[in-house]
Amino acid sequence: MQNSLHINPDSCTGCHQCVLACSDRHGDDFSPIKSRIQIFRFEDEGRYVPYTCTQCEEAWCQKACPTNAISVDGNGALIVSDAQCVGCKVCTIACPFGTINYNADTGKVIKCDLCGGAPACVEACPTDAITFVNSSTTGFDKMRKWAAKTDAGSQPSA
Amino acid sequence: MFGFLKRLFGFADNKQTGSTQTGSSSTSEPKLSLSPSDSEKRGDQIHAEYVIVGAGPAAVCAAETLRKNDAEGTILMLAAEDAPPYSRMAIPYVLTGLISEEGTYLRGDDDSLGKKAISVHHAKAIALDPNSKSLSFEGGGGCSYNKLLIATGASPIKPPVEGLDLPGVHHCWTLADARAIADKAGEGAEIILMGAGFIGCIILEALVSRGAKLTVVEAEDTMVPRMMNTVAGNMIKLWCQNKGITINTSTRVTGVSQGTGQLDVAMDNGTSKSVDLVVVATGVKPNIAFLDGVGIDMDEGILVNDMLETSISDVFAAGDCAQGPDFATNGNSVHAIQPTATDHGHFAALNMVGNKASYQGSLNMNVLDTVGLISTSFGQWQGVEGGENVELIDVDNFRYTYLTFDGDCLVGALTLGRSNNVGVMRGLIQSRIKLGGWKDKLLEDPNRLAEAYIACRQ
Ligand SMILES: Cc1cc2nc3c(=O)[nH]c(=O)nc-3n(C[C@H](O)[C@H](O)[C@H](O)COP(=O)(O)OP(=O)(O)OC[C@H]3O[C@@H](n4cnc5c(N)ncnc54)[C@H](O)[C@@H]3O)c2cc1C
């Protein structure tokens, strides 16, 4: 059974440990701008929302890729092959969630890869706002559940 | 919203019915009634349940979706070009040396389609007979189908200018074109690029990276005029000029002639230039001429409905050759971009297997990297009647954000110098998210797009 990231913004304190851990794990020298997980801060509501890819089952990024550079690994994560990615960025506009981004330093796109099954963000989170849980649900079910937690408090329509 | 996105892309109906997607060991592996090579030899008709004309991204996405939803039906793809199914939008990266030709192959490992029992037959379809449900091939032979998908893509247009048939004048559209350009576009080569549209600008980047001395000639008064407004187009132009590229906008090539060893190119600004290579990128037109007289409804491309059906039963069309539903205008458009090609292919396949799936229409969108300046364009950036717009310009840092709204929905966007979370512009527009109070926040600071998306998603 595969695990997926489960995000509970109500528990997020905005400490950014996940962001730092993510960029460190991916060799980006604690550069928050290159973290695959982002924290959005909603000042009016005093709310923080961790935000990253939900590994869609039918993934727009993967379909739009012209060089077959995006594949699904054994953990159900959509991963980018640096050898095959040409940096065309079509996936970055095709993904309607905006969770695959271009890294100008490497000329490749980057996205959450679930760290090969042991996500650094989960390990780093001191408040269990990000957990890695069993999931036998489909990508969209996963996403809907996840969305319910991350919609800045609002429930998604079915 | 997720329900909407699901309907939008039809994934809800996407049942997996077989094991063929993972390997070839299945005992019920589909077989064509004749292997293509046999049929070639005997000039016979091949029969396949599903025939796809073309071997580009629309075709490959369709073939794989067919297989995922129908484990049994035979699938035959026709490829006119002498290469395995490939993606032409990867060609610029062959020119930059980032990948080899093999890197453009849509399913790198040649056998990956074979493993899914998808046959690729190298033949060019030249005629369709919908009564006998068959196609004939150039040089003889043909095939018959139960369901047909036309995914023949588009071809570049040559403008009516003297001398464009001379050797040394090339399009940049096929792998064969790429080889010809690579041959001539070495370090220091003088090149004229005709057309600074979207495709022209992508080629521009590749030619510059090869060390060529580039002069760009564009008839309109800005760069990428169909993707960017004048402000952004001129910022891109200035950026390129700062990098030492000569950009002549509002200029036309009037003739090309053979000089001594080089080509002489005359322009309507009264100047002329001797160059090693002329690359023509002045637009494309759908490959639909072989359907003339068949009685299939065509306009700019093959007209298809929300199920990607043409006016002839059991015949579907997808990708650059199809004029499909346009999300923004509610009309039909040829968007001629990769994401539309694969979305079309996906939807056509679902409907071909009988899983009725309605496509909400394609959103025109582009992303471009012009020698390091990233630009994006989405939807109705020209604005809509009665709508509102907001513009944020930072000329010195080449940053620009322009948003257009209809009521409290985002309907279009242009950005320069932005590469993070750009996909949310598609999400906001194509999910018709009601921005509520976030509209005012965006009018105040249009760069808060990602926050608006996350806050409003419901
Ligand atoms: C240099 C370049 C850069 C590009 N960059 C981008 C980009 O950055 N972003 C983007 O979104 N789009 C880009 N595009 C456009 C993108 O490549 C096309 O939108 C996409 O390839 C369309 O896919 P398709 O399958 O509809 O058609 P094609 O890819 O054109 O495939 C059509 C297929 O049909 C075959 N065929 C044609 N006629 C016949 C026939 N009669 N019988 C049998 N086979 C036939 C062809 O050989 C080909 O295999 C670029 C294109 C080029 C050339």
Residues A28 and A61 in one domain: no
Whether B98 and A86 lie within 8 Å, measured CB to CB: yes
Residues A80 and A39 in one domain: no
Q: To probe the interface with A, which of B101, B202, B342 has the most A CB atoms within 10 Å?
A: B342
The whole-angstrom distance between B77's CA and the closest CA on chain A is 18
Give the whole-angstrom CA distance, residue B331 versus residue B311: 16
Amino acid at site A61: C
pLDDT for position B37: 47
Give the whole-angstrom CA distance, residue A158 versus residue A143: 11
Return the structure tokens found at B380. Answer: 């109705």
How many distinct structural domains can be found in chain A?
Answer: 2
Residues A83 and A104 in one domain: yes
pLDDT for position B30: 57
Examine the pLDDT at A145 and tell me if it is beyond 70: no
Residues A38 and A65 in one domain: no
pLDDT for position A43: 83
**pLDDT mean over A3-13:** 92
Give the nearest partner residue to B2 out of A93, A154, A156, using CB atoms: A156
Find the B59 Cα to ligand 1 centroid distance in Å: 10
Note whether B210 and B181 are within 8 A (CB). Answer: no
Residues A128 and A93 in one domain: no
Give the nearest partner residue to B103 out of A63, A84, A97, using CB atoms: A84
Residues A5 and A43 in one domain: yes
Give the whole-angstrom CA distance, residue A25 versus residue A129: 19
Whole-angstrom CA distances from A125 to A11, A19, A54, A146 are 10, 10, 18, 17
Q: What are the pLDDT digits (tens) for A28-70?
A: 777 777 899 999 999 888 899 999 999 998 899 999 999 999 9
Task: Provide the pLDDT confidence category of residue A1 given band limits of 50, 70 and 90.
Answer: low
> Is B99 an 8 Å CB contact of chain A?
yes
Fold of B380-457: Enolase-like; domain 1 (3.30.390)
Q: Give the domain ranges of chain B.
A: 2-155+285-352, 169-282, 380-457
Which pTM value belongs to this model? 0.89
Whether A89 and B369 lie within 8 Å, measured CB to CB: yes
CA dihedral A62, A63, A65, A71 (to 10 degrees): 30
Kindly give, in sequence order, each residue whose CB lies less than 8 Å from that of residue B297, ignoring residues fewer than 6 positions away.
Answer: B303, B310, B311
Q: Domain B2-155+285-352 maps to which CATH number in 3.40.50.10380, 1.10.150.120, 3.40.50.150, 3.50.50.60?
A: 3.50.50.60
Residues A6 and A20 in one domain: yes
Whole-angstrom CA distances from B3 to B70, B132, B194, B434 are 25, 41, 45, 15
**pLDDT mean over A125-136:** 88
Q: 3-class SS at A82?
A: coil
Domain at B169-282: CATH architecture: 3-Layer(bba) Sandwich (3.50)
User: What mean pLDDT is reported for chain A?
Assistant: 85
Examine the pLDDT at A130 and tell me if it is beyond 70: yes
Residues A73 and A27 in one domain: no
Atom of ligand 1 nearest to the CA of B320: 26
Q: 3-class SS at B321?
A: helix
Tokens 């395995």, residue located: B84
* Domain membership flag for residue A152: no
Residues A97 and A133 in one domain: no
Residues A9 and A41 in one domain: yes
Q: Is B323 in the pocket of ligand 1 (CB under 6 A)?
A: no
Protein residue closest via CA to atom 3 of ligand 1: B89
Give the nearest partner residue to A66 out of B9, B87, B426, using CB atoms: B87
Residues A96 and A136 in one domain: no
**CATH number of the domain residue A135 falls in:** 3.30.70.20
pLDDT for position A32: 77
Give the whole-angstrom CA distance, residue B61 versus residue B345: 5
Find the B154 Cα to ligand 1 centroid distance in Å: 6
Whether B419 and A104 lie within 8 Å, measured CB to CB: yes
Examine the pLDDT at A3 and tell me if it is beyond 90: no
Q: 3-class SS at B115?
A: helix
Return the structure tokens found at A36. Answer: 């695959």
Find the B153 Cα to ligand 1 centroid distance in Å: 5
* Domain membership flag for residue A154: no
Whether B427 and A158 lie within 8 Å, measured CB to CB: no
- Asked if the domains at B169-282 and B380-457 fall in one CATH topology, the answer is no
> Is B16 an 8 Å CB contact of chain A?
no
Q: What is the ipTM of this complex?
A: 0.88
Give the nearest partner residue to A66 out of B14, B338, B421, using CB atoms: B338
The stretches in chain B having pLDDT less than 50 are: 1-28, 33-43
Q: Which domain holds residue A13?
A: 1-52+116-144
Q: What are the pLDDT digits (tens) for B18-49?
A: 322 333 333 345 555 444 444 443 446 899 99
> Is A131 an 8 Å CB contact of chain B?
no
Residues A46 and A78 in one domain: no
Q: What is the strand order of the sheet B409-416 is part of?
A: B365-370, B373-379, B409-416, B399-406, B388-394
Characterise B371 by phi-psi region: left (phi > 0), alpha (psi -120 to 50), beta (else): left
pLDDT for position A27: 83
pLDDT for position B458: 52
Helix/strand number for chain A, H first, E second: 5, 8
* Domain membership flag for residue A157: no
